[in-house]
Structure 1
Amino acid sequence: MKTYFRLLSFASPIGKFAIPYIFTTLLHVVFNTLNLALLVPLLTFLFDTTKKGRIYEAPDTLWDIMGAFNYYSQEINRTYGTYGALQFICIIIVISVLLSNLFKYFSQRIMENLRIHTLLNIRKTVFENVMGMHLGFFNNERKGDILSKITNDVQVVQFTVTGTLQVIFREPFQLIAYLIALFGISYKLTFVSILFIPVSAIFIARLVKSLKNQAFGSQASFGTMVSNLEEALSGIKIIKAFNATSFITEKFNKENENFSEIGRQMAKRQQLASPISEFLGVVMVAFILLYGGSLVLSGSSELTAPAFIAYIGIFSQLTRPAKALSDSFTGINLGLAAGERILELVDMKPAIQNSKKANAVSGFDYAIELENVSFSYGEKIILNEVSLTIPRGKTVALVGPSGGGKSTLMDLIPRFIEPQKGRVLFDGKDIKEIEMDSLRAQMGFVNQESILFNDTIFNNIAFGKTTATQEQVEAAAKIANAHEFILKTDDGYNTNIGDRGVKLSGGQKQRLSIARAVLKNPPIMLLDEATSALDTESEKLVQDALNKLMTNRTTLVIAHRLSTIQNADIIIVLDAGKIVEKGNHNELMSHNGLYKRLIEMQTFSE
């Protein structure tokens, strides 16, 4: 239940919904029960049993509703006759039904607003927490599982956990109201009848317990299946190129069958609750007919024929709230399992956070420094006591064989990752003491893989800068050599570029990425140079845009091509996590070391 109440905490302020819901629900329950209770005076006067000489006295308390109706119906009968009393009862029943349904409508509207409000807060909290996680989290988690938790699991919570709110708040009141009415008609018959209830409760409890483990397995299996689907759609080109369609299909189908089998087993147990509860209900009604019928046939004054018929009518309705409660408890474990998966994301804290003493920075003055920085993934050392200074206004190029630690070194500067040893200083201040948003606001990024969104060209360039004007976006595009090809698209800057920019060429995507960085206009640029996979013509356009981008800025670039390297102020050669050479192009070429061999082979890779 701890999980359930935690999920309900997202309904805050719950009093805004709970108080009016309880009020309208109680009124609905009162009038709904009254509709059935009025069967007694209705049948009494319909069959004219008042001729038998029974006299109803005025009730002593306000709680004796049945006594009050019988008394006033009797008085109306004396004044206006039996038909007049029948008219009076029918009018009261119509009014009672109207009010019952009116308050039911209001209560359902309130509960629906509460459900939507709760789910809105859950989705908002989960997404915000996921977006606040450090990059390492996304490297370790399956994207499909995250998608499953944010989408499917939230939907499951919607239709189980929050769906039971209405049942839990309304049905117990309705159950109590029916029992009060039944005790009012015949306390002996009711006392004996409710002895059957514990039998049903024991069965439902055992069924609920058996569903719990299967519910967890179902959600985990669905997450795996969505992960397989996401990977298949993302890598469809490679799948077809390597003739791996059957392998991927078999992998997906295997998990699909596992998920379906768990669903069948859960459905079997869930659906078992309904027929057994109905069977137990019929057994109870049969017993009532036998015992109650014997009281009527014996001429007992406690239970008349009209009262017995009304009793059966009310008791038949008693099983409805009881069944609704049992069904909600059999299904709630699926929702709780989904809820726990959601709360895992909510409770997860990013490994990299702002310290309480962190301060914002508003500019960049003189240098970024790495002091004896070491970083490793498990036992694999990526950087080993690296020390480096990146002066303001200089272009520093990182070169070296693949796996040398270039990308890791670059990721340390915006604090995407943190070193296990050493410090990264920004203008002499440890970046752990700087607010991450303000630190990253001083930096622009252009990656080797162009990260674009399924949106317009304008919105991709203006990404993260909601106040950008058309003139500013066009100016950035011109610097990035993108303006001309943009004008040739169907709708110019309003052209949608598709998922991940699929409608554009590699060079066009890179130029949009550069335009985005130009518009941000930061003092520091971090470039994973993106010309290595382009054709010669595209490379020239992109390289020219990069040169414009680096003008009058501090730039750290992972270099792949000679055109970028030879113009760098400082070239850092990384090999096996260590700086093995340092200098400008001419100096390093004269050393006849690793740099010269790399230049001669032209094998610069990340």
Structure 2
Amino acid sequence: MKEFFQLMRRFVAPYKKFLGWSILLNVLSAVFNIFSFSLLIPILNILFKTGENRSVYQLMEWGSADFKDVATNNFYYYTTQLIDSFGPATTLLFLGLFLAGMTLLKTACYFGSSAIMIPLRTGVVRDIRILVYKKVVSLPLGFFSEERKGDIIARMSGDVNEVETSITSSLDMLLKNPILIISYFATLIVTSWQLTLFTILVLPTMGWVMGKVGRALKRQSLDAQNRWSDTMSQLEETLGGLRIIKAFIAEKKMTARFEKCCNDYRDAVNKVAIRQSSAHPMSEFLGTLLIVAVLWFGGSLILSNHSSINASTFIFYMVILYSVINPLKEFSKASYNIPRGLASMERIDKILKAENTIQDPVHPQPLKEVKEKIEFKDISFSYDQKKEILKHINLTVEKGKTVALVGQSGSGKSTLVDLLPRYHDVQQGEITIDGTNIKEVAIHDLRSLIGNVNQEAILFNDTFFNNIAFGVEGATMEQVVEAAKIANAHDFIMEKPEGYNTNIGDRGSKLSGGQRQRISIARAILKNPPILILDEATSALDTESERLVQEALERLMKTRTTIAIAHRLSTIKNADEICVLYEGEIVERGTHDELIQKNGYYKRLHDMQSL
């Protein structure tokens, strides 16, 4: 339960007012319930004529004796007055109507206490989901190389839903049931402390049995949620790779893999469900054992004439005791539900508590433009402290100049440009802009200076307008149209039925590769950044699309400081400097003509592409 209360402190604090009202209404519900049950004693006495001599009841002043004695005496006094005035049958009707009124008040408070908890439950789940999303978008890219997208989706969907159904729904029970149990036990003690002492001695054994089963449930629930993540990951991979699956006729293989995931998940869920379904019958049986034990003990006392209560009061005692069993059952249900939710919360916390190594400086330095140059000074970098990807890179990019990076796949080109916007942080050396270390600049300010055009145009399931204006606050239609014209995108956009308001589909699926790339260029043009990163922006295009995109890029690169990664050397012939990377090191640098004359690695690459 310690984990549960820690969870409540984290997420329930903004909803304290709902907790307060729920507690008040539950207290009133318990009080009205006890009063309604207390009417059983005079009703039984009237029905079976087991009441004591009515002449002994005289009206007593409150505070003149023990509260219990005064309350009992005065209640019986008024009951006898009613019997004398209206007769037993009419008095029975009055008591029945009073019982109905008390029950109405009790059920109204019960409904109110449950209804007022709904905003809390839904609010907590919404807050968790938003927190997870905020954490996901704030984490560095390195985190996602270790995690599967399907697993993250499963945690935001299945695990958060499990928290709602298992934990927040149990919160209502955990507020209501202690109030009912305390109220009922107080009534039992007032009615007969001897019977209550016997009851308390029997209860701990039942609680131990329920707790032991509940602890095992958490382990099984964690396994079930992990299986669900595997299923979601498999589905995400399938949707992303349908073209390859069909091309290699691998439908049966993928279906078999998915069936295995589903079967494993089903087996894990079966174990949880079977154990959870045992909660009700087990609590029912243990509750019946408790009633039987108390019935035997109390009955023995009454039959031996050693009891401090009469038969009608004993029946009232048994009714209250039986009423305690239902809250205890609810507790046992919560003890089964909460471990399931805690297992899901444990998986969610792997995201929420993931360390974000890319942090803003405490006192950030201002940086609004590039006045002189960007410098990479003795940069070395590795993922997870393993093999070095970059080794002692030194590179200067003057303002307004274009530097191109070429080399084999895996030589570290993309890693090097990812260090500039701090998608990763260097382990050795530093990157400076106009002499200011980028780690001393606020991340927002740094990335606002940089525009990206990647090999894969990353677009969103939205309109042309919203994709081009993405990340630019308050962009007007005129500005978007101008950016699209510069990017050679305006003509094909206007051919669409709704123009700039046309939806482009999931990841731009309704567009060709060249069209997607030109939309991403238009997005970079509208942002108008002083620094531009081009990551193989034309490598996946046909000749005609490449020509249109290259024209757009050349317009975009004018007056901007550009770092371009290229496999097609023809696209970077005019770069001010070309750096050749090999196994994480710059092995050659110079202009296109200078590198051709060196007759080295660049010349070999150029000759192979010429062939």
Q: Please report the TM-score for the alignment, with normalisation by the length of structure 2.
A: 0.93
Question: 1:367 Cα shift?
Answer: 0.5
2:575 is the counterpart of 1:568: yes
**Equivalent residue for 1:592, pick from 594, 599, 603:** 599
User: Does the CA contact (< 8 Å) of 1:357 and 1:433 recur in 2?
Assistant: yes
Letter in 2 for 1:433: E
Once residues 440 and 426 of structure 2 are traced to their aligned partners in structure 1, the CA distance between those partners, rounded to angstroms, is: 14
2:366 is the counterpart of 1:365: no
Letter in 1 for 2:104: L
Question: 1:439 Cα shift?
Answer: 0.5
Aligned partner of 2:243 in structure 1 is: 237
2:125 is the counterpart of 1:119: yes
Question: 1:92 Cα shift?
Answer: 2.2
SS of 1:423's equivalent?
Answer: strand
Question: 1:62 Cα shift?
Answer: 4.4
Letter in 1 for 2:507: R
SS of 1:424's equivalent?
Answer: strand
SS of 1:468's equivalent?
Answer: coil
User: Does the CA contact (< 8 Å) of 1:37 and 1:314 recur in 2?
Assistant: no
Once residues 194 and 212 of structure 1 are traced to their aligned partners in structure 2, the CA distance between those partners, rounded to angstroms, is: 28
1:409-431 per-residue CA deviation (whole Å, 9 max, x = no partner) reads 11111111122221111111111
Aligned partner of 2:489 in structure 1 is: 482
Aligned partner of 2:215 in structure 1 is: 209
Once residues 26 and 100 of structure 1 are traced to their aligned partners in structure 2, the CA distance between those partners, rounded to angstroms, is: 10
Written as runs of structure 1 = structure 2, the 5 A alignment for 1:278-357 is 278-293=284-299, 302-357=308-363
User: Does the CA contact (< 8 Å) of 1:397 and 1:558 recur in 2?
Assistant: yes
Kindly tell me: are residues 62 and 398 of structure 1, through their superposed partners in 2, closer, same or farther at Cα, counting changes over 3 Å? same
Letter in 2 for 1:176: I
User: Does the CA contact (< 8 Å) of 1:3 and 1:340 recur in 2?
Assistant: no
Aligned partner of 1:528 in structure 2 is: 535
Once residues 576 and 53 of structure 1 are traced to their aligned partners in structure 2, the CA distance between those partners, rounded to angstroms, is: 104
SS of 2:167's equivalent?
Answer: coil
Once residues 68 and 113 of structure 1 are traced to their aligned partners in structure 2, the CA distance between those partners, rounded to angstroms, is: 43
Question: 1:591 Cα shift?
Answer: 2.4
Question: 1:184 Cα shift?
Answer: 3.9
Of 175-184 and 362-371, more deviation after overlay is shown by 175-184
1:61-87 per-residue CA deviation (whole Å, 9 max, x = no partner) reads 445655543332222223333244224
Question: 1:53 Cα shift?
Answer: 4.9
2:144 is the counterpart of 1:133: no
Question: 1:52 Cα shift?
Answer: 6.0
RMSD, matched Cα: 2.4
Of 584-593 and 392-401, more deviation after overlay is shown by 584-593
Aligned partner of 1:200 in structure 2 is: 206
User: Does the CA contact (< 8 Å) of 1:211 and 1:269 recur in 2?
Assistant: yes
Q: Percent identity?
A: 45
Once residues 363 and 69 of structure 1 are traced to their aligned partners in structure 2, the CA distance between those partners, rounded to angstroms, is: 85
SS of 2:496's equivalent?
Answer: coil
Kindly tell me: are residues 101 and 194 of structure 1, through their superposed partners in 2, closer, same or farther at Cα, counting changes over 3 Å? same
1:346-367 per-residue CA deviation (whole Å, 9 max, x = no partner) reads 2222122122232231111110
2:505 is the counterpart of 1:504: no
Aligned partner of 1:514 in structure 2 is: 521
Question: 1:320 Cα shift?
Answer: 0.4
Aligned partner of 2:4 in structure 1 is: 4
1:225-249 per-residue CA deviation (whole Å, 9 max, x = no partner) reads 2222211221122122223333333
Question: 1:110 Cα shift?
Answer: 2.4
Aligned partner of 1:29 in structure 2 is: 30
Aligned partner of 1:106 in structure 2 is: 112
2:501 is the counterpart of 1:494: yes
Aligned partner of 1:602 in structure 2 is: 609
User: Does the CA contact (< 8 Å) of 1:480 and 1:512 recur in 2?
Assistant: yes
Kindly tell me: are residues 76 and 577 of structure 1, through their superposed partners in 2, closer, same or farther at Cα, counting changes over 3 Å? same
1:467-523 per-residue CA deviation (whole Å, 9 max, x = no partner) reads 111111111111111111112223222222221111111111111111111111111
Aligned partner of 2:278 in structure 1 is: 272
Q: Which runs of 5+ in 2 are unaligned?
A: none
User: Does the CA contact (< 8 Å) of 1:479 and 1:545 recur in 2?
Assistant: yes
**Number of residue-to-residue matches in the alignment:** 604
Letter in 1 for 2:509: V
1:367-414 per-residue CA deviation (whole Å, 9 max, x = no partner) reads 001111112334433222111111111111111222222111111111
SS of 1:387's equivalent?
Answer: strand
Once residues 519 and 538 of structure 2 are traced to their aligned partners in structure 1, the CA distance between those partners, rounded to angstroms, is: 14
Kindly tell me: are residues 426 and 10 of structure 1, through their superposed partners in 2, closer, same or farther at Cα, counting changes over 3 Å? same
**Equivalent residue for 1:256, pick from 247, 250, 262:** 262
Once residues 487 and 54 of structure 1 are traced to their aligned partners in structure 2, the CA distance between those partners, rounded to angstroms, is: 100
Kindly tell me: are residues 301 and 533 of structure 1, through their superposed partners in 2, closer, same or farther at Cα, counting changes over 3 Å? closer
Question: 1:210 Cα shift?
Answer: 2.1
Kindly tell me: are residues 191 and 374 of structure 1, through their superposed partners in 2, closer, same or farther at Cα, counting changes over 3 Å? closer
Once residues 79 and 379 of structure 1 are traced to their aligned partners in structure 2, the CA distance between those partners, rounded to angstroms, is: 95
Of 132-141 and 6-15, more deviation after overlay is shown by 6-15
Once residues 559 and 67 of structure 1 are traced to their aligned partners in structure 2, the CA distance between those partners, rounded to angstroms, is: 97
SS of 1:552's equivalent?
Answer: coil
User: Does the CA contact (< 8 Å) of 2:170 and 2:337 recur in 1?
Assistant: no
Once residues 287 and 591 of structure 1 are traced to their aligned partners in structure 2, the CA distance between those partners, rounded to angstroms, is: 99
User: Does the CA contact (< 8 Å) of 1:360 and 1:439 recur in 2?
Assistant: no
Once residues 560 and 219 of structure 1 are traced to their aligned partners in structure 2, the CA distance between those partners, rounded to angstroms, is: 43
Question: 1:194 Cα shift?
Answer: 4.1
Once residues 73 and 502 of structure 2 are traced to their aligned partners in structure 1, the CA distance between those partners, rounded to angstroms, is: 76
Q: Please report the TM-score for the alignment, with normalisation by the length of structure 1.
A: 0.93
Question: 1:304 Cα shift?
Answer: 4.1
Of 34-43 and 537-546, more deviation after overlay is shown by 34-43
Aligned partner of 2:103 in structure 1 is: 97
Once residues 301 and 334 of structure 1 are traced to their aligned partners in structure 2, the CA distance between those partners, rounded to angstroms, is: 45
Kindly tell me: are residues 420 and 186 of structure 1, through their superposed partners in 2, closer, same or farther at Cα, counting changes over 3 Å? closer
User: Does the CA contact (< 8 Å) of 1:239 and 1:245 recur in 2?
Assistant: yes
Q: Which runs of 5+ in 1 are unaligned?
A: none
Kindly tell me: are residues 464 and 69 of structure 1, through their superposed partners in 2, closer, same or farther at Cα, counting changes over 3 Å? farther
SS of 1:350's equivalent?
Answer: coil
Question: 1:31 Cα shift?
Answer: 0.9
SS of 1:404's equivalent?
Answer: coil
Question: 1:48 Cα shift?
Answer: 4.6
Aligned partner of 2:252 in structure 1 is: 246
2:540 is the counterpart of 1:539: no
User: Does the CA contact (< 8 Å) of 1:573 and 1:581 recur in 2?
Assistant: yes
Question: 1:584 Cα shift?
Answer: 1.8
User: Does the CA contact (< 8 Å) of 2:54 and 2:80 recur in 1?
Assistant: no
SS of 1:397's equivalent?
Answer: strand
SS of 1:161's equivalent?
Answer: helix
Written as runs of structure 1 = structure 2, the 5 A alignment for 1:368-383 is 368-377=374-383, 378-383=385-390
Question: 1:37 Cα shift?
Answer: 2.2
User: Does the CA contact (< 8 Å) of 1:11 and 1:121 recur in 2?
Assistant: no
**Equivalent residue for 1:149, pick from 127, 130, 155:** 155
